[in-house]
Amino acid sequence: MEITTEQIKQLRESTGAGILDCRKALTQANGDFDKAVDYLREKGLATAAKRSDREASEGVVELYSHGKGRVGVMVEVNCETDFVARSDAFRTFAHELALQIAASNPRYLRAEDVPAEELEHEREIARARAREEGKPENVLDRIVEGRVEKYKDEVCLLRQPYIRDESITIEKLMMQNVASIGENVVIRRFVRWQLGESTK
């Protein structure tokens, strides 16, 4: 099947991938646009994984204020070069992260950051709730672990569903950006303040 420049242009605008990658994706997918997008996303995620060990010491600290100053967010996002740090795509990604943090109020960056005692406390709550609901003893452990995983999805930024597209997580969004930007991208740290909240 003949791949047209218009198809390549359309795929490139949609995914941000290079011209040759778009041509190859369309060829692999026999001109099917959706399959070509999937191909590029899969290839991009694989490429992103290869880039994850490269040092990311440039970047931006994105500041965001929401609700007329009622919520404030600061997030540090790093990349490999100052050229990428100044790019619109990178800055848009950092801004999207700040919006996500403001809206979803994560407490940790990744699941490994959640203290063991907090997870144990969640397990106790989940077990007590499951017993109260009359769940059989032989399935309690599975129910408890399922609820603990759900808790991690809520409190860990990388595991949260993206507010603009709940079919992907923030981690997948980051990998897509690594693939389209062409450099390793790292979410280093973040903090979220809400007016009137108590600090521990």
Question: What tokens were used for 40?
Answer: 């590029």
Whether domain 58-109+159-194 has CATH 3.40.50.720:
no
Pick the CATH number of 115-154 from 1.10.286, 2.60.40, 1.10.3470, 1.10.10: 1.10.286
> Which pLDDT score, from 0 to 100, does residue 110 have?
92
Supply φ then ψ for residue 105, to 5 degrees: 50, 55
> Which pLDDT score, from 0 to 100, does residue 46 have?
47
This prediction has a pTM of 0.69
The CATH topology of domain 5-51 is Helicase, Ruva Protein; domain 3 (1.10.8)
Q: Which residues of the chain have pLDDT under 50?
A: 46
List Cβ neighbours of 69 (8 Å cut-off, separation of 6 or more): 195
- Structural domain boundaries in the chain: 5-51, 58-109+159-194, 115-154
Nearest to 27 by CA among 37, 15, 36: 36
